[in-house]
């Protein structure tokens, strides 16, 4: 039954992946590349901008995953306590918002001449755009992390909440009757229940943060920028000789993703 779906996935995704790897080693009959060469990878390894970009990419992905995991779990616990369907609906409202739109909203709100800056200027707190903190286009990727956390926190919350809903409430009562405090109950009862869901959510958030192009393109600094943006720039370069670089960068990103998947599967099976 799953065969057709699997075939489509394997064909489209696997085929694309194979082509990417093949082109990353310089084999491209249309552009006249016939021999296998690792020149693109050597160029990447020697480029300090790529190293800075790798650090930024991993930093942004880790930070946004960590923050949305913490905030998302807290939100899920709050929603669980409040128990109102309407609140849950509100919390999930940002889920269908595309990242491009979310990034644009962040831009309109938080840029140095954005809405917030105008409010502070109107209140006399700042004299102009130059006084407002430069949250966006910064070399540390603060703007990118803010957008990702805003978008992904409700996503994490939703997955964790689903796990919490499945949790039998009486377990808490039993733990309490056995003398467990709040912290102990969280550790012994809640945590094991939400851990798998939280882990899944984290992997998904991290994988997205690793590969997103639109968010760092709109909110990131010119340099350093994330690997995905570097790949995009190399891919859209008018110099066709830079295509192998784009493909090599994409292969590196895919490798990072595969590593993550491997770690996830291992953690899952060792449980």
CB 103 within 8 A of CB 151: no
Q: Of the two residues 185 and 243, which places its CB atom closer to other proteins in the complex? A: 243
Least distance CB 210 / other proteins (angstroms): 21
Least distance CB 116 / other proteins (angstroms): 13
For 141-208, give the DSSP string: -HHHHHHHHHHHHHHHHHHHHHHHHHS-THHHHHHHHTT--HHHHIIIIIHHHHHHHHHHHHHHHHHH
CA dihedral 37, 229, 100, 65 (to 10 degrees): 100
Q: Of the two residues 202 and 246, which places its CB atom closer to other proteins in the complex? A: 246
Least distance CB 204 / other proteins (angstroms): 27
CB 225 within 8 A of CB 56: yes
Q: Of the two residues 159 and 215, which places its CB atom closer to other proteins in the complex? A: 215
Least distance CB 106 / other proteins (angstroms): 14
Dihedral sign computed on CA atoms, order 40, 41, 47, 53: positive
Q: Which of 111, 151, 254, 268 is nearest to 200 (CA)?
A: 268
Q: Which residues bind other proteins (CB under 8 A)?
A: 28-31, 48-49, 52, 111-113, 128-130, 134, 137-139, 217-218, 221-223, 233, 235-240
Q: Which of 203, 177, 204, 222 is nearest to 263 (CA)?
A: 203
Least distance CB 220 / other proteins (angstroms): 8
Q: Of the two residues 29 and 96, which places its CB atom closer to other proteins in the complex? A: 29
Q: Of the two residues 3 and 30, which places its CB atom closer to other proteins in the complex? A: 30
């Amino acid at each position: 039954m799953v065969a057709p779906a699997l075939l489509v996935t394997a064909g489209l995704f696997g085929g694309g992946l194979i082509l990417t790897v093949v082109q990353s080693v310089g084999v491209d009959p249309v552009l006249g590349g016939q021999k296998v060469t690792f020149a693109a990878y050597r160029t990447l390894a020697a480029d300090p901008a790529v190293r800075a970009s790798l650090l930024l990419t991993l930093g942004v992905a880790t930070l946004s995953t960590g923050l949305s995991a913490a905030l998302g779990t807290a939100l899920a616990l709050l929603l669980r306590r409040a128990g109102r369907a309407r609140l849950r609906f509100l919390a999930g409202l940002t889920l269908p918002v595309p990242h491009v739109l979310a990034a644009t909203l962040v831009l309109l709100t938080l840029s140095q001449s954005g809405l917030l800056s105008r409010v502070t200027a109107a209140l006399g707190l700042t004299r102009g755009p130059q006084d407002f903190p430069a949250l966006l286009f910064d070399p540390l990727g603060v703007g990118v992390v803010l957008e990702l956390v805003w978008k992904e926190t409700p996503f994490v919350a939703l997955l964790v909440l689903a796990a919490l809903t499945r949790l039998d409430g009486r377990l808490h009562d039993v733990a309490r009757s056995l003398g467990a405090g709040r912290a102990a109950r969280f550790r012994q009862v809640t945590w094991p229940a939400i851990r798998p869901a939280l882990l899944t959510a984290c992997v998904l958030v991290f994988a997205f943060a690793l590969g997103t192009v639109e968010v760092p393109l709109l909110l990131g600094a010119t340099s350093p920028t994330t690997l995905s943006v570097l790949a995009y720039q190399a891919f859209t370069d008018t110099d066709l000789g830079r295509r192998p670089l784009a493909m090599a960068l994409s292969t590196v990103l895919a490798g990072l993703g595969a590593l993550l998947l491997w770690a996830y599967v291992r953690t899952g099976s060792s449980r």
